Every structure is written in C-alpha cells, then in structure tokens.
Structure 1
Amino acid sequence: MTALQAVATALRGLPRGVVSLVYPPTCAGCGSATADPGAFCPSCWSSLRLIEEPVCQRYGTPFALDLGVGPLVSPRAIAEPPVFGRARAVALYDAVARRIVHRLKYEDRLDLAGVMARMMAASGRTLIAEAECLVPVPLHRGRLWRRRFNQSALLARAIAASAGRPCVATALVRVRATRSQVGLSRAARAENLSGAFRVTAAEQHRIRGRRVLLVDDVMTTGATGNAAARALLRGGATSVNLLTFALVGDPAG
C-alpha cells in the first residue's frame, strides 16, 4: 500500500458524532460543502501534494527523482544531520496544506485535528510502531493563553489514542518565549530556539529510557524539532523521531 492509498484509507469512515451537529460537512481544505465530515473536495484533494517514497530517510523530504535502491539520504542530511533520528510528514506545505493548518490554528476548527491526525498516523505508521510514547511540541504559556489550545497536543493525543500509545503532553515545556520564526534564516531559527525547551523533573520518568515520537503541525527548517529533540534526549529519551502534518520545502535533489 502506497502512502497515498494509506492516507485515502485513513480518511474513510470518520465518525460523524457531535462534530457534524456543530459544523456541517465541509472540505477540510477550503471549507466548501462536502457529503462527509473530514472529506476533501475534488479540487483540494487533487492539489494536496502528498509526500510519497522515495524520501530522505532523515528529514523525510521527497526526492524529485527515484534514485534507485537502498536507503536514501539527502545532501542536506549529510551536511546538517538533524538531532532527531527521522522525520516524516503527510504533505508539502503548499496552498492546500497551509489552509488546513491555518484553519486549525487560527480559525479554531478543532475538528480538523482528527482529520490531520488520521493522515499523520497513516504517513507515520513506521515511526508510530517504534515509539513508546508521543510528546507534542509545546507552546510557551503566554502563547497558549492567547490561543487557548496547543494544536500539536491535539494532534499528538489523537494519534496516540488511535495507536494505543501514551501521550506525555506535559513532559516537555517551552521555558523561554521566542520571537516568531517567520522570516528568519535557518541559522537564526536555530539560535532563536536555543535552550527554549526543557523536560520537567516531575515528568522525566515518563520518557527516560523510552523511544519518543515528537509531534508538531509543520516542519520548516527542522530548528524546532532539533531543539525539542535535544531537550528530550538530555532528559533521558533513548531516541526521538518527528512526525508533522506538513513539510516546508521543495523536493530534495
């Protein structure tokens, strides 16, 4: 089963439940009317750039061409190996994926977390199978107060519930309020996030000696994933992989 088929299968049979009473069925991408909750209209589905093999085994970036046999590693992964082991994502962060993420984060469409989590569970099934617990990338308490929810925690809890894995949502905290990453260079992003995360002493026993799957909505340069993974490894995790909904960047060469 290809990643595209797995994602399509994951989208079928979403429960209608209370969400259908609050939000009439609409396209997860553009908000136009659809027959079923969590479905995509034909235009959004055909425009969503789902990530398929072959991909860089470290960053999860798709290759523009199939380069043949064996595990593939992009030039970037060789030059700048990430702190986390492997990253996987559902789709490239193009117009449709961006709209889905923005509707969840800024339009309070919390019902979309279930749709996104199902797609992430399909794309990241290998990483989930290896994980012993899931940890969301946290927001600083000031930003959490303004937004009222952490989208990464919503995704992590939904994925963990479907996979039968524990979600340790409070193990990792953001101890420093960082400036927005928008517009920053890769080096500036890494500097901005240096020392921003810490594993809490009270929760350290829940990740010590465990294989952790870190969950976030979007990976841009990997700076957030690196900073969070570094804190988790220092806190005692044996390994850290990263699963996101979207990935910024063009296919690897």
Structure 2
Amino acid sequence: MLLAGIQTAVSLIYPPQCLGCGGLVGSDFGLCGTCWSGMSFISGTVCEGCGVPLPGEADGFRLECDSCLRHPRPWSQGRSALVYEGQGRKLVLALKHGDRTEIAQTAAVWLERAAQPMLQNDPLICPVPLHWTRLLKRKYNQSAVLADALARRAGLQHCPDLLRRIRKTPALEGKTRDQRYQLLGSAIGAHPGRLNRIRGRSVLIVDDVMTSGATLCACTDACLRAGAADVRVAVLARVTQT
C-alpha cells in the first residue's frame, strides 16, 4: 500500500509523457495518438534476410527482398521492428544521439515482437560494437542499451562486449553501399576473452538501424570466424531505400 501511494504521488508530480513529443499520456514510456500514427511498424509478410515488409502472403518458402537477393547475407535470419521513417526515425535518432536511453525500454517491446521467430534455442544476444573513441564521446552504445533491454524482456543472456571494433572507421552516413563494405573490412572482431561464449552457440546481433547491412555483415563474419553455430540479426529500424 505504501509503495502504491508513493507511485501515485510521483505520477501526480511527474505525469507520464509521450516519448515522441513530450505530451501527457496514460502510462510511462508510451506514445500519444499523434506520434503513434506517425510510426511505421513492420508486420505481415517480411523478408527473411532483413525483415523489410514484402507484398503478398507467405507461401511456405523463404522470401527475400531484392536487396537480400542481390547481396546474400551471411546471417541466417533478420528482423526489423520499424521502417526508418517518420516518428520512428525521430525516436531512433533520439536514442542514438539525444541521450534518450529510456526509449530503449519501449523499443525492446517492439523489437521482441518482431524478433520472436529468432529467440528460440537460447541465442546469446550481443550488440553491434562502437570503437572506444566514439563510445567515449557518445557516453553509451545505443545498440548495447537496446540489446540489454531486449535480453531482459526475453530472459536471454546478453554479452555487451562479445564483439569489438578493432579499427576506427569514419561515420558511415552518406556513404554508398560499396564504400561502407570497404571501410568496415576487418574492423570488427570477436573479443579474445569471449571466444568460449561464442563457440557452438547461436548469436543474435542487435543494432538500431540497418541501411546496407555492411556493419551487420562484418559482425556476423566475426562471430562465424569465432565458431558461432548460427547468427541472426535484429534491428529496431530498417532503411527501405538503399
């Protein structure tokens, strides 16, 4: 009773605010009607490689988008919760650059729903790593925050430093697909002290946004070189025009 009373008092002093616009909402970490209508959630028939929405209905065979057909992915399955546009894009950018780490709690709900087919067989969850110089500047790795929130919701193990950036690379924004792949090269590798956690395991790599897939390819290759049995990827948002 005392705890309930304290929570009620706190909610009166600090009423729940919309994650998008800051307006009042009915519960913590929610969205108002206007911001909700600006979200592009992915559902229905999707690409097995990256989770982008596809027209038509599933026919029992593996379906892939044109991008995944042109450039086969080294991972086995991929899912995305949102299309990277509108209000969803604003939330991703706020999580990534705006110190809005609380967004990860709600984003993990969306990501868990999208990634449900890939949460079987106890996969080890890990984030796409940041180079230490970028981590020092940004103060946190948004992918690690998201991966931790997803692991907690799904009741799965999370290893935030399973992978590491061996070499610093420039920002990938504005780079072409080929430039991204060339820049990443062998920039990502498995942490030498975590090899025993990768060998023979299924690994689920988590990131905030997938554009060309170059970063996720580098992460997947690192896991496979280290002996992972299977690699899957889950991203909060998918850029549909690459």
TM-score (norm: length of structure 1): 0.86
CA contact (8 A) 2:108 2:153 kept: no
Shift of 1:131: 4.2
The Cα of 1:105 is off from its aligned counterpart by 2.0
> CA separation in 1, counterparts of 2:38 and 2:211?
20
Alpha carbons 2:40, 2:86 under 8 Å: kept? no
Deviation at 1:138, TM superposition (A): 0.6
Residue number in structure 1 paired with 2:113: 122
Q: Which residue pairs with 1:40 in the alignment?
A: 31
Paired residue total: 234
User: Which structure 2 residues correspond to residues 17-32 of structure 1 after superposition, within 5 A?
Assistant: 24-32=15-23
Which residue of the partner structure matches residue 3 of structure 2?
none
Query: Structure 1 CA distance, aligned partners of 2:138 and 2:215?
Result: 19
Pairwise mapping of residues 71-220 of structure 1 onto structure 2 (< 5 A)? Answer: 71=61, 72-220=63-211
Q: Is the 8 A contact 2:146 2:206 kept in 1?
A: yes
- Aligned 8 A contact 2:50 2:80 in 1: no
Deviating beyond 6 angstroms after TM superposition, the runs of 4 or more aligned structure 1 residues are 19-23
Q: CA deviation at 1:33?
A: 2.4
1:228 aligns to what?
219
Unpaired runs of 5+ residues, structure 2, are 1-6
- Retained in 1: the 8 A contact 2:125–2:204? yes
Question: So what's the TM-score if we normalise by structure 2?
Answer: 0.90
Shift of 1:20: 6.8
Structure 1 residues 112, 54: closer, same or farther in 2, change over 3 A?
same
The one-letter amino acid of 2:94's match is: R
Structure 1: gaps (5+ residues): 1-15
Output the amino acid matched with 2:150: I
Per-residue CA deviations over 1:105-162 (Å, capped at 9, x if unaligned) read: 2221211111111111111111112442101101000000011111111111111122
Does the C-alpha gap of structure 1 residues 68 and 111 become closer, same or farther in structure 2, counting only changes over 3 Å? Answer: closer
CA offsets 1:159-199 (integer angstroms, 9 cap, x no match): 11222211111110011111111111111111111111111
Cα distance change on mapping 1:22 and 1:106 into 2, 3 Å: farther
Given the alignment, which residue of 221, 236, 239 partners 1:245?
236
Q: Which amino acid aligns with 2:59?
A: V
Residue of structure 2 equivalent to 1:5: none
Label 1:125 to 1:23 Cα distance change in 2 as closer, same or farther (>3 A). Answer: farther
Between the aligned partners of 2:13 and 2:142, the Cα distance in structure 1 is 19
How far, CA to CA, are the matches of 1:213 and 1:52 in structure 2?
20
